[in-house]
A and B are shown apart, each in its own frame.
Chain A
Amino acid sequence: MPSITSTGAESGEAHVATSGSSTGHSRDRRPRYTVENPKKSVTLTVMTGLSALYCLLPLVWLVINATKTQADFVSSFGFAPGHRFALWDNIVEVFRYQDGIFSRWLLNTVIYVVVGAVVSTFLAALGGYALAKLQFSGKRVFLFVILGSIAVPGIALAIPQFLLFAHLGITNTPWAVLIPSFINPFGLYLMWVYTADAVPTDLLDAAKVDGAGEFRTFVQIALPLLAPASVTVLLFSFVSIWNNYFLPLIMLKDPNWYPLTIGLNEWNKLGSTAGNGALIQNLVITAALLTVVPLIIAFLSLQRYWQSGVSLGAVKG
């Protein structure tokens, strides 16, 4: 079963696609349809296009409404522009509101994401390498427990984690959000299968014969070979930590430690408290847009990696 070649398959497809469109078929000849290059179907395109529309519509709505003033948001049609293009005003106001706490939330999120994703990816690489290439007793038991833990519902685990962390006195500190994010069982699994395929044991042995220690062999020989899988695990950790809601919701009380997701919902509650709260839906929507933009950029620019990561997980799993 090809697993590492999935990246190759992706670029292979891209190659086919570009050569198909650039060289094309000469104009005087009717295109020949084959199994490899069947006739395009308008019906199928329209039907798939409807699904794409379902997926894009809310994001389009978000972008349009981030450009409206509060008055325009309330009065105008959802997909029509407002009387005034207020995107920049909204962004400035988002960063100013409540003494600029939004930038604090953004900074918190970046810290949680960067530290959490880097540490969890490194630990997964270290552990995956040990499972694939090194010996130790209890390996099978360890694997059984880790793979079993993938099926444990995360939220069912969060309340026990909160109770334990409260006992240890680390709730309402960044550690309460960071420590659970360091452990990514699925990342460990991906690293394990990837290491087994992509790191030749002979190469490791050669390095050890040359006198390199175990850790140096890992850092200098194995780690560079694991780069594609590392980027994949990093990307998925990045998304899950950036989007995490339940864990920070229960762990943190102090707004100064909130990530974006919790802060955003606090603002939403403010604006919606009918009667006495200030209506700041334009700020909530603009802040929501600012929250998703970095992720969408990361996804679009690192497409190759999440594709190969999903392939690796899917074909192996």
Chain B
Amino acid sequence: MTSPITAQHPASAGKRGRKQIGLAFIAPFGLLFMLVFIVPIFYAGYLSLFQQKLIGGNTFTGLANYTKLFHDAQFWDGVGRVFSFTLVQVPVMLILAMVLALALDSRRLHGTRFMRVSIFLPYAVPAVVSTLMWGFMLGVKYGLLGSLNDALGTDLDPFTPSTTLISIGVMVTWAFTGFNMLIFYAVLKAVPRELYEAAALDGANEFQVVLRIKLPALRQSLVIAIIFSIIGTFQIFSEPQILPSMVANSGITTHYTPNLYAYNLAFTGSQQGYAAALALVMAAITIAVAYAVQIRGLRNAFDH
């Protein structure tokens, strides 16, 4: 496979103007990209050096926002929560997605197509609607859990301070398992089927085919799925932002996740410089973790 970068044709190498014609094509994207990605990051970096003071208004305070952030127990509480959430949610979701992809690819299911579409469908549902549905469904007031408690005389509540995070995990897994499953399934479909025939001729059973052919094929896409899932769960916002208006005493605080904290700082506390510092630190943490996973994942991939 030739890399797209090297696939340039020599015909246009003549004139100087021709050489730069690509710039005109890339310019609209490039300029908007500057406006939407690059400039905001630098502007946030600049704003993070200021604090809103009662006397004197917006004053330059150097790195004070950052030192404050590193001593802010509420921030680290949220960071700890998304870390532990990620540690459980990402493996559960991706293992489920892989098992489902292997099941679909086994050709042993009745109604493979129906299953595939059904499991992917939640991806099309906005987080707002998903939170509303699950909030109503699981809530003890109107939902199924209420009916179940009435019927069995139990006192289960999925939205107490100790159970809310699990319920959010159920919602997030619901929304994104199908998307990851589809990626794994696409990778499995690209495996040449002659390999399976050859393995069968060699007397390999299906379990060995999964272990020796299918799982190694999934390795690279698994690393990418882990990275994007981590980025996703670190950003978790909609569910904890919407839930408190649906259920009382869910244990969701204004700093439940770092993004919720940044939102509340910027829009209800009007501490924009501090929120900017938080957003940048959180982006740095996310990229560092994603990068660490990538390095580890690729090193493992080379080992095999």
Contacts and interface: CB of A to CB of B under 8 A. Distances in A.
Contact of A291 (B109, B129, B174, B189): B129
A264 B242 CA distance: 11
Interface in B204-255: 206, 221, 224, 227, 231, 234-235, 237-238, 242, 245-246, 248
Given A62-B133, A133-B8, A292 B124 contact: yes
Given A38-B108, A156-B282, A126 B129 contact: no
A6 B259 CA distance: 38
A77 B4 contact: no
Interface stretch (A22-30, A99-107, A159-167, A223-231): A159-167
Interface in A185-209: 185, 188, 192-193, 195-196, 201, 204-205, 208
Contact of A159 (B2, B9, B123, B266): B266
Contacts of B120: 299
| Chain B interface extent, by class | 35 or more
A163 B133 contact: no
A94 interface: no
Given A163-B272, A261-B126, A154 B25 contact: no
B245 to A, nearest CB: 5
A67 interface: no
Interface residues of A, number: 121
Interface in A109-158: 123-124, 126-127, 129-137, 139-140, 142-143, 145-146, 149, 151-157
Contacts of B47: 163
A214 B186 contact: no
B235 A285 contact: no
Given A49-B115, A136-B22, A292-B124, A151 B28 contact: no
B290 interface: yes
B126 A48 contact: no
Contacts of A298: 124
Contacts of A296: 121, 124
Interface string B46-85: 0100000000000000000000000000000000000000
Contacts of B182: 306-307, 310
B128 interface: yes
B190 A311 contact: yes
Interface of B: 1-2, 4-5, 7-9, 11-13, 18-26, 28-30, 32-33, 35-41, 43-44, 47, 96, 100, 103-104, 106-115, 117-130, 132-134, 136-137, 142-144, 147, 174, 177-179, 182-184, 186-187, 189-190, 193, 196-197, 200, 206, 221, 224, 227, 231, 234-235, 237-238, 242, 245-246, 248, 259, 262-263, 266-267, 272, 275-276, 279-280, 282-283, 286-287, 290-291
B186 A143 contact: no
Nearest to A187: B29
Interface of A: 1-2, 6, 9-10, 13, 17, 35-42, 44-45, 47-49, 51-52, 54-59, 61-62, 65, 73-74, 77-79, 123-124, 126-127, 129-137, 139-140, 142-143, 145-146, 149, 151-157, 159-164, 167, 179-180, 182-183, 185, 188, 192-193, 195-196, 201, 204-205, 208, 214, 218, 239, 242-243, 245-246, 250, 260-261, 264-265, 268-269, 272-274, 281, 284-285, 288, 291-292, 295-296, 298-300, 303, 306-307, 310-311, 313-315, 317
B259 to A, nearest CB: 5
Nearest to B107: A38
A155 B235 contact: yes
Given A130-B26, A149-B33, A295-B125, 5 more contacts: A44-B106, A78-B147, A142-B26, A264-B128, A268-B246
A284 B132 contact: yes
A248 B6 CA distance: 40
